[in-house]
A and B are shown apart, each in its own frame.
Chain A
Amino acid sequence: MSYSTFNRKQFDSLQEPMFFGENVNVARYDQQKHPIFEKLIEKQLSFFWRPEEVDLSTDRKDYLKLEPHEQHIFLSNLKYQTLLDSVQGRSPNVALLPIVSLPELETWIETWSFSETIHSRSYTHIIRNIVNDPSKVFDDIVVNEEITKRADSVSRYYDELIEKVSLYNTLGLGKHHVPGKGEVDVTLRSLKRTLYLTIASVNVLEAIRFYVSFACSFAFAERTLMEGNAKIIKLIARDEALHLNGTQHMLNLMASGRDDPEMAEVAQECRDDVIRIFVEAAQQERDWASYLFKDGSMIGLNAQILSQYVEYITNIRMQAIGLEPQFATKNNPIPWINAWLVSDNVQVAPQEAEISSYLVGQIDNDLDEADFDDFDL
């Protein structure tokens, strides 16, 4: 029922389900029903980084030297990622905070969503550094048909959940007349179904949809092009791996019945729908790969290889939540990508990064051979 920002009831939050129990009151982390969310918060905080830590002056020169079809691949991926993180920077908060019932999960949702806003800020940092007029890139996101098609798929479940939860929070359970929609039956079961499908669709967003862009960014960097961008994408990929862990835990906890016995039934009922969400997303990502490479491929990547990678990674993500893999692809067609996804390869210590305001004995990023002319060995 009606959301309260500080629930005055006295209850044991360790007995609450993740969602649709009591509204959280005291933000306490000394005890947790599901310690994983506390661990995720700690890990995410330890990952904190800022896009300005990465110097992009070489990327601008690289970008100007790219073939037009490569510039199309690069910018299109940035637009798609901007869309995905625009959604992720707000939706976990808007959709999930009104229904969450555990303090550690509530704070994980906020921490998760906040880290997505850093990603959005890094796209601005990248775009501002490589093109003269960022508006041309940003404005296209809402009109480009290939992007808007995807906007519908990534926001549909969130929007449905937000609508139902707002009815639930204002009018309660029961049949309600909604202008323009007719009679809407708000039941706890239907709310839980929509929640489960939303979490599955968010898992797909973070665990599959991002990876086509990641692969392209790292493929450029394998050719020592756009390396500043790749450094940022590496940090984003590291965060996303944490986020997908969060949604995998939510889905697995729900399906196990350990959190809320009714959710286990809901997960069972929704199994085919979740499989459909994964398979449809994989198809959309393969279509996206074809759009990226419509004017030409890049060294080491083409639409076919990327499509196989989408299938491969979709299988992995499905198995992580106990679903049967749906694609025949058994091998990673781009195994080199994994070296870019290793957690501890990433370093963001300010004294080691190229932040001129921090470094004392600063190293110039634009050294060439002529600078060593005075050296005799």
Chain B
Amino acid sequence: MTSTFKEDSLHRVKIGAKEVLVTEEEPLLPQLERSGLVLEYQCREGYCSSCALKLVWGKVYYPEEPMAWVQGGHVLSCCAYAKSDIEIASL
């Protein structure tokens, strides 16, 4: 079976006691949900800011700048993509 993902685009996301592997192909929220995590969200389009989480360390990027105001040290899980291994936590 061939993988559609390059290995260097896979990142580890630490959240609480759990670790989840994510790709750079999709925002964090749907990938974390598929791993069984229940996370807060509302609009899923980057404007309501309800899905904000704490970015403890690591890099994320937004292909499109979200409309919501992102507080320093926060990450909007519905539209942020992992760019490195990261650790996130609820606010």
Contacts and interface: CB of A to CB of B under 8 A. Distances in A.
Main secondary structure of the interface of A (DSSP, over half): helix
A332 B52 CA distance: 14
A58 interface: no
Contacts of A50: none
A241 B71 contact: no
Interface residues on B, range: 10 to 19
A342 B68 CA distance: 15
Q: Which applies to chain B's interface (DSSP): helix, strand, loop or mixed? A: loop
Interface in B13-71: 38, 40-45, 47-50, 52, 67-69, 71
Given A319-B71, A325-B91, A330-B90, A245 B42 contact: no
Contact of B67 (A36, A252, A325): A36
A241 B46 CA distance: 10
B48 A241 contact: yes
Contacts of A344: 44-45
Contacts of A43: 47, 67
B40 A245 contact: no
B28 to A, nearest CB: 16
A319 B42 contact: no
B13 to A, nearest CB: 20
A330 B45 CA distance: 23
Given A316-B40, A332-B40, A338-B41, A244 B69 contact: no
A330 B91 CA distance: 9
Contacts of B44: 342-344
Given A338-B40, A343-B45, A39 B71 contact: no
Contacts of A252: 69, 71
Interface string A338-358: 100111100000000000000
Interface of A: 36, 39-40, 43, 238, 241-242, 244-245, 248-249, 252, 315-316, 319-320, 322, 325, 330, 332, 335, 338, 341-344
Given A245-B67, A344-B45, 13 more contacts: A36-B67, A43-B47, A241-B48, A248-B68, A248-B69, A252-B69, A316-B50, A316-B91, A320-B71, A322-B71, A341-B42, A342-B42, A343-B47
